[in-house]
Structure 1
Amino acid sequence: MRPSVVSLLGRLMPMQRLRKLLIWSGAVFVAVALFAFLGLPPLMRSFLMRTLSDTLHREVTIQQIKINPLTLSLTVRGVMVKDREAPDTFVSFDQLFINLQSVSALRWAVILKDVRIDRPYIRIVRHQDGSYNFSDLLGAGDSGQGGGAAPRKFSFNNIRIVDGSMDLLDQPRQTNHTVRDLNIALPFLSNYPYHIDTSVAPRVSAMINDSRYILEGKTKPFASSLETTFDIDVTDLDIPYYLTYMPVKTNFTIRSGKMSLKAKLLFIQHPQPALTVEGRIALRQLAVSDAQDRPLLALPLLDVVLAPTEPLARLFHVASVTLESPELFIRRDPSGVTNIQTLFPANPDTRTDVKAQDTTATSAVVDIDTFQLSKGMLSFSDTATAISIKAEKNAEDHTPAEPANLVAQEISVRADNLTTRKDRQGTTVVSFRLNKGGTATVKGPVGIAPLSAQLAVSLKAIDLRPFQPYFTDRVKIHVTRGTVSTDGNLSLNHQEGSGLQAAYKGNLSAVQFGSVDKAHAQDFLTWQSLAFGDLDVGYNPTYVHIAKVALTDFYARLIVHPDGSVNLAQIMEKGTVEEKPTSPDTSPTAPQPTPSETSGKAGTDVQIRTVTLQGGHISFSDASLKPAYSVDLTEIGGRVTGLSSGEATLADVELRGKVNQFAPLEIVGKINPLRDDLFVDLKAGFKDMDLSSATPYSGKYVGYTVEKGKLSFDLNYQIANRKLDSKNNLFLDQFTLGEKVESPTATNLPVRLAIALLKDRNGEIRLDLPVTGSLDDPEFRVWKVVLQILVNLLSKAATAPFALLGALIGGGEELGYLEYEPGSATVADTNAKKIEMLVKALYERPSLKLEIEGHVDVEKDREGLRQREFMRKLKVQKFNQRLKQGQASIPVAELNLEPAEYEPFLRLAYKAETFPKPRNLVGFAKDLPVPEMEKLMLTHTQVNDDGLRLLASQRAMKVKDAILRSGEVEQGRLFIIEPKSLAPEKRNTLKDSRVDFTIR
């Protein structure tokens, strides 16, 4: 029995221990459950409220925490976190429910069967300094735990946020944003292997600022492929509310705009990242203002339909782009910066970023099946020297400078099959109306990679006036009318290594052109038609080939205003003349220009086959004169053929017209104005221009009216190697001055005398005025030189009329005087030659009168007369002897004494003298040597002023007699002038013993 009892007891003891263990375990479980049900929630509530308040530095309250250890669920109700700086609620939710699955501990993972948050709320405040009411919390949760440990396995299932809301108070922008009815449903998030290839179907919906947004999709967030599909449906998103929070600072303001988006996105990470986007985006009622709060863009509708597009692969396929009635305002300020360029703040790294973007853009391939723009309007307001797609109202003038206002209306663009694929082309048609007037149409194939186009261009009646500001700072004229039209073909092609090449072939015309000068609003230049036929121009290389140019019914007006200013001289604004380019740097290290940089420089191939002028009229008037002076060049016509920039090519010029309706004008010759080395060989002339109409000029500058006269001239201009050689032959017929005119600007020079000197006996004046000079001399002007020559002629007429007269008749000698030996009045041989030339000059110029004025050298002529009187006394003795001998009578003055006769006749003359003579002791006159007799006779020969005056008069009279003996000069034109003094005015090295002439 004992062994069996012992054995039984041995078996009962473990059962009792097991029962106790079970009892104690049950007691512990009940205790723990009771603690979890009743004790832990208040402890956890107290702990969490204290800990969270300390950590967040905000008051945290929790109404209730419930724990159900049997279902492993946790419920937290009434959580509220106060704002740190205000009594308002920062974060709150009504209830958080979490249900933990029991297998979590066995699998050493966090597995939640349910996660639900009811009515969560958050209030975000953005302060004036840009900080937020949660800025102090950023970074506070960093645990410092390394990132190398393997992530803990988790599986969150049935995740829901129900009826959430948010308020965002933006104090700097004084804007409030609201989120209501936020509901998020996420079936699960898990990184368990058996969940990795299971798609999660998230759904998000909310009312954001009273607009409904829905996002649905499928994703495998923990699979290596990261396959994700999203269906996005956004309706009427209020763009201004959300663009405020762009991370990039902008200088523009979006006033209004709604965006609707319906799209599907598919993303796959493995084996390589791939993103496919397909859908439609539409913008409506978009209004944008620029940095100055002026309208920039108004876009009623932009509709973009995306075909399946792969952005990561840089494959963009746009099925269609549609713009309806867009309005764009572009303004350029005086510094040349447009409002488009100022939309974003300057960034020092902008250049690098742009280069990177350009590279990316270049490497993308983009397809646009259809692009369509209708009823567009573009306005460009330019105050730099403003395109608005808004044409009914021009952009405003916001600066003192005159703006260019260009407005394109009714813009229509249709493009099909545009692509950046290499060597592919699409088609495009663009048309618009410019400034409510002319029309433009451009159509044809266009390629993008590389850039290429073959476009038919048609411009009809484009008004030139809106383009006035682009040249108004260079010329002082207002274009009052005029339109441009062209039809042709534009070819564009971008070649690797040589850049963009362009060519245009067609016809171009500018018609009904009119302009006035700014200062006086008077007509300046007009024409009926300027046409360019068979135009062929190109860029890179640059060339201009024109078969024919025709200018018809043109008119130009040259005016001298009352203040003396000339409208032509004032047309160019100061500072617009380009400076002469400096010599290029040819050093090996100097950067060499690309073909596109050099294609527009000197040496461009220019060929103009024929230029035709017809119906030209040039009017000149001078209002600075009283009365005003006017002259017209009319019926100007002709042609220029063979214009070319070729060095060996010369163009033929033949132009004709009339001066004041009657005098024919002709210009013929050869020119080459287009080549680097200018060449001109032109002859120009007109005949029989009546000069009576020039009285205003002659009265102002000469001091006399013009009684009559005609002008003809022949000009020959030759320019080679920058040197001018010109001949200016002027012919005046019967030019006669009239009455004296009082004018403070009239010259004091003897104009009448000059005319009399220049005019021959037929009433003709011929002047040959050669002019030479260098075109590189900035002071050189042809007519300035001609005018100076004419002034020099007048001056010479006043100061040296006989030198001028001598030059005119070809003698080249000074005819204004005759010189004499002391005591002589005889016209010597040299004087006879001068008198002969003087007679010739007076004969050729019958209007000239000659005054003759005799003079003496008081000392030398007195001695000369004494010597002549001494010799006369000796000749008287010879004359007496000849009478006694019965010889023929010869005047004393014509007798000559032989050397052998000198002493005998001296002694007879000495004996005849009655002055006291030296005597000998007996009282008889002594015989004296020859020198003593000469000395005594000369000493006692007296010459007074009357003798000198008589000598001067004899000199004048003998000259007059010599001129009259020629028979070619009337006596009434010769006058003997009584000298004011015996001695004349000193003149350089001339003798005082002379006769002076004066022309009247």
Structure 2
Amino acid sequence: MPNFLSRLPQTLRTFSRKPAARRSFIGLLAFILLIGLFGYFVLPGIIKSQAEQLISEKLNRQTTIGKVDVSPYAMRVTIHDMKMMEPEGDAVFASFGALTVNVSLQSLFRFAPVIEEFKLDAPYVHLVRKDAQHYNIDDLIALANSQPPKQEDSKPARFSVFNIQINGGRFELDDKLEQVVHKITDLKLGIPFISSLPSQVDVFVEPMLSANINGTPLLVKGKAHPFADPMEATVDLNLDNLDLTTYLKYIPGTPHFKLPSARLDMNMVAHFQQKKDAAPALLLTGDVTLKNVQLNDASDKSILKLPSLKVTLQDAKVLDSKIAVARVAIDGIETSIARAAGGRLNIDNLLTPPTATAPKAVQKSQPKQAKASTPAEQAAPSTAAATATEADKQTTKQAPPAKSAEPLVLALGELEIRNAAFSYADAQAAQPMQAGAKNFDLNVRNVNVDTGKRIVDIGEVVSNRAGFSLQQGNPPAARKRNGNAATTSTPSKPAAKKNGKKDETEESGYIVNIGKIAIADWSAQLEDRSLRRPAVTTIAPLNLAMQNVSTKPDARGRIDLQATVNKNGKLSVQGELGMAPLYGDLALDFRQVDIMQLQPYFTDQVNILLTRANVSGKGALRFAQTKGNFTGSFKGDVALDDLATVDKLSASDFLRWKSLSVKGMNVNFSPFSLDIDQVALNSFFARIIIDQTGRLNLQDIVRGEDGAQKSVTGQEHNPAATQERVRGTNVASAPLQQPAKPASAVPPIKIGKVLLRGGRVRFTDNFIRPHYTATLERLGGTVAGLSSDTNSNANVDLKGLVNSAPLAVAGRINPLKGDLSMDIRAEVRGMELAPLSTYSGRYIGYGIEKGKLTFDVSYKVEDRVLTAQNRLILEQLTLGDKVDSPDAPSLPVQFALSLLKDRNGVIDINLPIGGSLDDPQFSIGGIIVKVIVNLITKAVTAPFTLIGSMFGGGEELSHLAFDPGRAALTDKASEKLKTIAKALDDRPALKLEITGRTDPQADREGLKRASIDRKVRALKLKDMVARGQSAEGARVTVTPQEYPVLLKRVYKDEDFKKPRNMIGMQKDLPVEEMEKLMTENAKVGDDDLIVLGNRRAQAAKDWLTTEGKIPAERIFILASKSGADAKDGASASRVDFSLK
């Protein structure tokens, strides 16, 4: 400075010698002088008049200013004595003594306001709470809400304000509703700076806050460190157990909630820092705790319970939008969210903004006459609402949504949630739902969020326990009562975007990265109530570990899921997983997963009941989604084990197996292809029945269009109607119906081998009178090389027993190609002929007393043409009595039989047949009749006389007694069979004949009683399955305590006339009377007696061949007989033995 002053005279002399410089200097001085004159004498008046007019017009409140001082050279403006009146103009709403704003020269080169000092003296605000919903500032709030948002390209505000001071402030809240006035006086506030720009301004204000609140003094004073680098000031912000419920009533608008309790603790420090060449900074550190929060809706139902929420700020740079949170701890939170039938959530209207009339413009010439709406006008839903709605529409059309003012950078060290509980209920008609979680613990660590880069990074997510539940859907009965309301609610579709363009937020979504997810000991219960019987699935425990989870394109993470499904099932999923696009390379392992819970989804569409089944599997599942196309594959093994089904009406076993395994499966989803190494079916049983109309029971597994139940193992309910349909029907007239050739190509399918082991099939033909029953046992073998390739054939090798006679099937077949292709040979040796007596009686006019059949047949189909060879060998064929049958040919049966027998009494014939499968006259029935007629023509034998009984144990061993209506062996009968087996074993040359007998009266009554027992057991089985218990129909037992209850329900379902009381209601009867009525109305025909006799004979033979170890070829079953037959007083319900 001294050197400058010493050179000043010389500089002025040099400058004065240049005329142009002198003129420029004089002009500059004149300009500066004019600015000073304008600023001191003209500008204050302009500011005063324009400010009064603008504020009055915009806010609809009369505003006056006492004086304005402007110091243009100091860049300081002071406004004195400003007053803003109430809309009515009778009282002061707000005022201040003086407002001084000192602008820094830095504003010129920063292109942003830099305020060196902001000082407000004697500010005053007068608020009035008129009633529970209205304040004297409602019009100002409505005006603010009606303003359009900022444009999309608006940038965050750039500014710096230093040395902020408020002195002598006064605030009044006049609560008319509570008849109390709250006052804050002597308010003094000091804030060193608030800035978003790097500015160098001398700071002389220390942080402080002092006031007198309703007579209670408050002083918060900070500490300044003016000589530190950086210059710093701090202030402590502490609150202890502040009751927030006190302030609920002062929230503008209409609170649609209740806040019984809420407390706030705060222990924070505000740091004001100013570094050289850097923007001033405001940092917050410390703790904020929200505790004992109870939030209810307007009807006092709980929405939120929050015992404790503690936020620990590590370093929150408020002005830079950079927040570092050390820890967020939430303990015991409980939330209850509900969506009403109309679609609104219970939290949507917790706070309704106040509705006020739009402010009217204040006329410049008459400012005092401007008035705001009265409370009554504000409550009227008239022009105000319409104006606001119209304004909203205009705003929506003209202004796009605003962007975030400043990108937020958030760092969270840890989020801890303990003992949380959440519930959600959705009552919408389309899909009612209830979901909840309890005992929920969660830790989220090392979270970083950058809204500018749209990235969320999470270090790890850990949860060590949680219980979830989900109930969804309405029961069918409820839907019917509601008039199928679910069909009337149509979800709203999102509005179509103009020009087909996507929203920017959709195109640039956030990228979320999670380093680690660890979930342990979770449980879940899923319940689908949309079914007649709810389907429930439980998962517990559930453990999940994931690594490197990310929504970044082509990112790959790891997953390890371990869960227990439905108590016993084990599920494991491990492998690689991608989110964008969807990708998975997973190893699946699931074992013994009970699928009984799936039964409610199909039980109303079928006539069978699934009593147990579980599925297992292990393999690799791969899938990927690229450009909207989904591709995938599965390679591994799958098994459906321990399956059992029963007839819903009779509770009889229908289909069951021990295991069905599929090994080496390779499935491609798109395009579809299937390659299987091996399919194995073990220990299986099936019941196949042809009913009185010739319909196969397999066709009745799925219910018809009328939805009526039908038994798949019993007789039709109306035998008379069935007989009417059957009368005159000839099985040979039913042509073979083959499906037309498929219109599209068969997908590639290959099955390397099919293994069958331990199979048993029970076949019953009710189309024939009397009925015929056969049992195929010990079925096993292989089918190798199945393929949809038209040039391939599978090799078949099957073996088994038909009614104890050996069966063998071998050859080649291709059922997967468009046209059936096969070359099969089947052989049966030593099959009993007596059970076939029903067929011989109908088609040859004679029953069969005894005989054995061996046949060797071969069937070849090529180009839809069948060629067949049938070789039949009959041994010891003995015909029974003449049967009158319209289908029997008039042939010399006895004479033909004598001609067909060789010297050993054996008939050996070969019957070739053939025809085109496309010929409408060609039928399976025709083939059977042709074989039978040719057989009888060449091989019918005459009866011969039995040569007498050869039992050595006495007459008592010649028969076995049975309980009326039953075919089960008694203990006494088993003891007799032991003696008979010993005799046969001692005499290898002996052969045994068994004849089943029935008592027309006793057995008829017994069958009726047995029918009642079966129905009671079937009802109990259904109840057991409904409770999730597994059982087999044949093993269900009914206790004496259960029997009366079950019998009453069975009696109620019976279709016959029942006794009724005086008012027409069905009477409650004792067990004996119900049994009597059911027995009297039950129908048992002669055919049923014959079947019973056959079953008794077969039971005796089965015991001898299995328990007695007697070869089957030594035992013959004769046709059963009905009626009394004197045999030393023996019961007619028996089987007779004779030796040959």
Range into which the TM-score falls when normalised by the shorter chain? 0.5 to 0.7
Structure 1 residues 497-646: aligned runs within 5 Å: 499-560=629-690, 566-574=696-704, 603-622=746-765, 629-646=772-789
Unpaired runs of 5+ in structure 1? Answer: 1-43, 83-91, 170-178, 246-251, 387-396, 585-600, 794-803, 810-843, 849-1000
Tell me, yes or no, if structure 1 residue 311 matches structure 2 residue 457: no
Structure 1 residues 544-943: aligned runs within 5 Å: 544-560=674-690, 566-574=696-704, 603-622=746-765, 629-661=772-804, 663-696=805-838, 705-721=847-863, 724=866, 726=868, 737-739=879-881, 747-751=885-889, 753=891, 755=893, 761-763=899-901, 764=907, 768=911, 770=913, 772-774=915-917, 782-786=923-927
Task: Indicate how the Cα distance of structure 1 residues 634 and 256 shifts in structure 2: closer, same or farther if over 3 A, else same.
Answer: farther
Matched residues in 1 for 2:281 and 2:921: separation? 84
Matched residues in 2 for 1:725 and 1:165: separation? 107
Match of 2:515 in 1: 369
Tell me, yes or no, if structure 1 residue 285 matches structure 2 residue 283: no
Structure 1 residues 320-359: aligned runs within 5 Å: 320-323=460-463, 324-329=465-470, 331=472, 346-349=491-494
Counterpart amino acid of residue 113 in structure 1: L
Task: Indicate how the Cα distance of structure 1 residues 345 and 318 shifts in structure 2: closer, same or farther if over 3 A, else same.
Answer: farther
Task: Indicate how the Cα distance of structure 1 residues 722 and 641 shifts in structure 2: closer, same or farther if over 3 A, else same.
Answer: same
1:559 is displaced (CA, Å) by 3.5
1:654 is displaced (CA, Å) by 0.9
Q: Indicate conservation of the 8 Å contact 2:195/2:281, yes or no.
A: no
Matched residues in 1 for 2:568 and 2:188: separation? 58
Match of 1:988 in 2: none
- Of 403, 407, 427, which aligns to 1:274? 407
Match of 2:120 in 1: 113
Aligned pair count?
A: 665
Match of 1:596 in 2: none
Which of the pair has more CA radius of gyration? 1
After superposition, what is the alpha-carbon deviation per residue over 1:525-584, rounded to whole angstroms, capped at 9, x for unaligned?
2222323333333333543333333222222222456898653231134479xx999999
After superposition, what is the alpha-carbon deviation per residue over 1:834-892, rounded to whole angstroms, capped at 9, x for unaligned?
xxxxxxxxxx99989xxxxxxxxxxxxxxxxxxxxxxxxxxxxxxxxxxxxxxxxxxxx
1:261 is displaced (CA, Å) by 7.2
Name the stretch that deviates more: 636-645 or 729-738: 729-738
Match of 2:142 in 1: 138
Q: Indicate conservation of the 8 Å contact 2:82/2:96, yes or no.
A: yes
Counterpart amino acid of residue 120 in structure 2: K
Task: Indicate how the Cα distance of structure 1 residues 688 and 497 shifts in structure 2: closer, same or farther if over 3 A, else same.
Answer: same
Q: Indicate conservation of the 8 Å contact 1:484/1:511, yes or no.
A: yes
After superposition, what is the alpha-carbon deviation per residue over 1:886-925, rounded to whole angstroms, capped at 9, x for unaligned?
xxxxxxxxxxxxxxxxxxxxxxxxxxxxxxxxxxxxxxxx
Q: Indicate conservation of the 8 Å contact 1:93/1:119, yes or no.
A: no
After superposition, what is the alpha-carbon deviation per residue over 1:448-475, rounded to whole angstroms, capped at 9, x for unaligned?
3444443332212111322334554665
1:398 is displaced (CA, Å) by 4.9
Counterpart amino acid of residue 802 in structure 2: V
Matched residues in 2 for 1:783 and 1:730: separation? 18
Match of 1:439 in 2: 570
Q: Indicate conservation of the 8 Å contact 2:198/2:280, yes or no.
A: no
Task: Indicate how the Cα distance of structure 1 residues 364 and 694 shifts in structure 2: closer, same or farther if over 3 A, else same.
Answer: same
Query: SS at the partner of 1:786?
Result: helix
Task: Indicate how the Cα distance of structure 1 residues 441 and 559 shifts in structure 2: closer, same or farther if over 3 A, else same.
Answer: same
1:680 is displaced (CA, Å) by 1.9
Q: Indicate conservation of the 8 Å contact 2:86/2:93, yes or no.
A: no
Counterpart amino acid of residue 647 in structure 1: T
Match of 1:858 in 2: none
Name the stretch that deviates more: 755-764 or 135-144: 135-144
Matched residues in 2 for 1:553 and 1:632: separation? 15
Task: Indicate how the Cα distance of structure 1 residues 140 and 281 shifts in structure 2: closer, same or farther if over 3 A, else same.
Answer: closer
Task: Indicate how the Cα distance of structure 1 residues 758 and 558 shifts in structure 2: closer, same or farther if over 3 A, else same.
Answer: farther
1:433 is displaced (CA, Å) by 0.9
1:198 is displaced (CA, Å) by 11
1:751 is displaced (CA, Å) by 4.7
After superposition, what is the alpha-carbon deviation per residue over 1:228-258, rounded to whole angstroms, capped at 9, x for unaligned?
988897755899959999xxxxxx9967678
The TM-score normalised by the length of structure 1 is 0.53
Matched residues in 1 for 2:454 and 2:839: separation? 79
Match of 1:360 in 2: 506
Counterpart amino acid of residue 886 in structure 2: N
Counterpart amino acid of residue 659 in structure 2: S
Query: SS at the partner of 1:707?
Result: strand
Q: Indicate conservation of the 8 Å contact 2:197/2:279, yes or no.
A: no
Q: Indicate conservation of the 8 Å contact 2:879/2:941, yes or no.
A: no
Matched residues in 1 for 2:139 and 2:491: separation? 28
Counterpart amino acid of residue 347 in structure 1: S
Larger RCO (CA within 8 A; separation ≥ 6): 2
Query: SS at the partner of 2:699?
Result: coil
Q: Indicate conservation of the 8 Å contact 1:705/1:738, yes or no.
A: yes
- Of 565, 579, 589, which aligns to 1:458? 589
Unpaired runs of 5+ in structure 2? Answer: 1-51, 70-77, 106-112, 152-156, 208-233, 246-258, 323-401, 480-485, 707-737, 902-906, 944-1140
After superposition, what is the alpha-carbon deviation per residue over 1:30-67, rounded to whole angstroms, capped at 9, x for unaligned?
xxxxxxxxxxxxxx9xx9xxx99x969xxx9x9xx999
Counterpart amino acid of residue 436 in structure 2: L
Task: Indicate how the Cα distance of structure 1 residues 103 and 410 shifts in structure 2: closer, same or farther if over 3 A, else same.
Answer: closer
Matched residues in 2 for 1:294 and 1:428: separation? 29
Counterpart amino acid of residue 613 in structure 1: L
Query: SS at the partner of 2:493?
Result: coil
Q: Indicate conservation of the 8 Å contact 1:774/1:780, yes or no.
A: no
Match of 1:429 in 2: 560
Matched residues in 1 for 2:508 and 2:790: separation? 44
Q: Indicate conservation of the 8 Å contact 1:559/1:623, yes or no.
A: yes
Matched residues in 2 for 1:413 and 1:705: separation? 70
Q: Indicate conservation of the 8 Å contact 1:254/1:286, yes or no.
A: no
Matched residues in 2 for 1:291 and 1:470: separation? 23
Matched residues in 1 for 2:509 and 2:564: separation? 36
Q: Indicate conservation of the 8 Å contact 1:769/1:789, yes or no.
A: no
Matched residues in 1 for 2:189 and 2:892: separation? 115
Task: Indicate how the Cα distance of structure 1 residues 720 and 696 shifts in structure 2: closer, same or farther if over 3 A, else same.
Answer: closer
Matched residues in 1 for 2:188 and 2:658: separation? 76
Q: Indicate conservation of the 8 Å contact 1:769/1:786, yes or no.
A: no
Query: SS at the partner of 1:287?
Result: strand
Query: SS at the partner of 1:436?
Result: coil
Tell me, yes or no, if structure 1 residue 297 matches structure 2 residue 436: yes
Percent of paired sites with the same residue:
23
1:653 is displaced (CA, Å) by 0.7
1:137 is displaced (CA, Å) by 7.8
Q: Indicate conservation of the 8 Å contact 1:759/1:765, yes or no.
A: no
Match of 1:800 in 2: none
Query: SS at the partner of 2:927?
Result: helix
Matched residues in 2 for 1:755 and 1:685: separation? 26
- Of 465, 471, 480, which aligns to 2:611? 480
